Amino acid sequence: MKLKLLALSAFTISTMSAFTPALSQKANAVCINNRVGVQVGIHGKNSVANQNQNASQSASDDCFNNQSTVTGTQVYTGKGSVNQNMNSNQHLSGGNNPTGVRIKPINNNIEVKVNVPALPK
């Protein structure tokens, strides 16, 4: 008797787990801004590399289930000094938010600055 009950319980659990994904709502993501900026300066030993990055990331109040990725690369190789400036603006909007609840966007801003004073004068 216990074996039949155990088998029936296992069958019920496996059957329910098979139908659960079909009965539940699909997951939606919030709006996501991704940005990766890379600056490389390989310059003379007695010179400098000034590396600046200015980034703004935003999303409108109605933004839902959107994603954006921006990448940028600057490379300098020379004996003199260098000024590297990188500017980036991202704005996401639109989507259909069925919940009506405003969800803050996720903003990922990654800055990589490589400064190598290696070349001879």
Q: Residue 15 — very low, low, confident or very high, per pLDDT cuts 50/70/90?
A: low
The 10s digit of each residue's pLDDT in 50-107 is 999 999 999 988 888 899 999 999 999 999 999 999 999 999 988 888 877 888 899 9
Q: Letter for the amino acid at 95? A: G
Q: Is this prediction's pTM over 0.85?
A: no
Cβ atoms 30, 64 nearer than 8 A: yes
Instruction: Give residue 110's Cα distance to chain centre.
Output: 9
pLDDT for 3 equals 47
Of 34, 33, 32, 38, the closest CA to residue 111 belongs to 38
Determine what percent of the chain is predicted with pLDDT higher than 70: 75
For the stretch 68-73, contacts whose Cβ atoms lie closer than 8 Å and that sit 24 or more positions apart, written own/partner, are 68/32, 68/33, 68/34, 68/92, 69/34, 69/35, 69/36, 70/34, 70/35, 70/36, 71/35, 71/36, 71/37, 71/38, 72/36, 72/37, 72/38, 73/37, 73/38, 73/39, 73/40
How buried is residue 41: exposed, middle or buried, by Cβ count under 10 Å (0-12/13-18/19+)?
buried
Domain spans, the chain: 29-119
pLDDT for 40 equals 96
